[in-house]
Amino acid sequence: MAWASISPRPPWRPALGQSIDVLAVKLDVTSRADAEAAVRAAVDRFGRIDVLVNNAASFDITTTVVNPGFFRTELLTEQSTNYAAPSIEDYDAGRARQLEFWKAQNGKQSGDPAKLARALIIIASQEPPPRRFIADADAIATAEQTVADLTAQIDAERDLSTSLAFD
């Protein structure tokens, strides 16, 4: 069990010292709620995952961000999935389409979780491990589209973006 706290004065604060670059959070690695809260606290405080990876690397901590595609797990089964009740009527039609999509995908996901597990063991044994692993063909397609979209956005506003430095 890893321990840290989001409370302002955890009992071990003197050992950690005071720093705006350190975020101590409570994390019981067997608790999904703790894990989600720790990640939210970290992202809220420090930003995107890429920033966290770069900061970890500066301390010789290797990390791999895994972007998984659609793997055939029990995630979409009725027993594993709870959908929140709709709260904004304007989104009902889109929400209904999205729920139907998710339900239709159950058991049809292209990724094999056993193969993903073997792939993760392979990359974990690499020295150094990759900083990012795009897992499965659908995840690669999504990443490639994101790169293309970002490139187009950069190119569209390049002159304005590069004009912002002090004269």
CB neighbourhood size of 148 (10 A) = 10
Whole-angstrom Cα distance, residue 73 to residue 115?
A: 12
CA 129 from chain centre, in angstroms, equals 18
Which residues face 111 on adjacent strands? 71
pLDDT tens by residue, the chain, 167 residues: 333 434 344 444 455 556 666 667 777 767 878 877 777 676 666 556 777 777 777 888 888 889 999 999 888 888 888 877 777 888 889 988 998 998 899 999 999 999 999 999 999 999 989 989 999 999 999 999 999 999 999 999 999 999 999 99
- What predicted TM-score, i.e. pTM, was given to this entire model? 0.62
Where are the chain's structural domains?
A: 1-47
Tokens representing 58 are 């500066």
- Minimal CA–CA distance to 102: which of 84, 77, 79, 122? 77
Q: Which amino acid is at 15?
A: A
Collapse the DSSP code of 12 into the 3-class scheme (helix H, G, I; strand E, B; otherwise coil) and give the result. coil
Which residues face 133 on adjacent strands? 66
Whole-angstrom Cα distance, residue 68 to residue 116?
A: 9
Q: Is 37 exposed, middle or buried (0-12, 13-18, 19+ CB in 10 A)?
A: middle
